[in-house]
Amino acid sequence: MNPLLVKSVGYLGLLLCIMFLLYKVTLFWNPIAIQKQTVSFLKAVQEQNYDRAAELFGWEGQKTAGSKESAWKQLAEEEGVRLLSFSNVRAEYDDGCYCTGHADLVFEVNGSPMQVRAVITFGAGARPKQICAITPSGMQGGSIAQIAAWNSLACGNGSF
């Protein structure tokens, strides 16, 4: 066997391994980028910049991006959902990647602030894919209309 060919194949294999590792690191092991994307999305919702929010949300963003009356704007205007603040946004390492995380969200509910914990899943491009607000303990899931409406859009169902 030609030693030059063996050496070339070896280098090519090594290069492919390095490229794969870089891909894994940037996509699945980059909690800083994931947190920044999620914070940018939540800030856009908080500031009522709904077109920007639709662009930043990874869960079927094509449903909302580019429409004049985005689903995020409808959520605020028709359902009365208002995100007052958010904190402690973090991506957590689990099953070989930073695919999930948590955040604390404060919504306006009947004129008063209500803090809830949220579970987050992340998708392609380090974007938030789902942000599921958890109904506070002692209350039935779906009993708070604003939280249920948020979860219908941001989580995929209103029952959390």
Q: For the chain, which domains are there?
A: 3-154 (3.10.450.50)
- Is 76:50 a contact under the CB 8 Å cutoff? yes
**Percent of the chain surpassing pLDDT 90:** 29
Is 155 in contact with 132 (CB distance < 8 Å)? yes
pLDDT tens-digit series, residues 64-80 = 545 645 788 888 888 88
The H or E element containing residue 118 is strand 112-122
Per the model's pLDDT, the better-predicted residue between 57 and 160 turns out to be 57
d(CA 146, CA 88): 21
On whether the pTM is more than 0.85, the answer is no
Contact 149, 82 (CB under 8 A): no
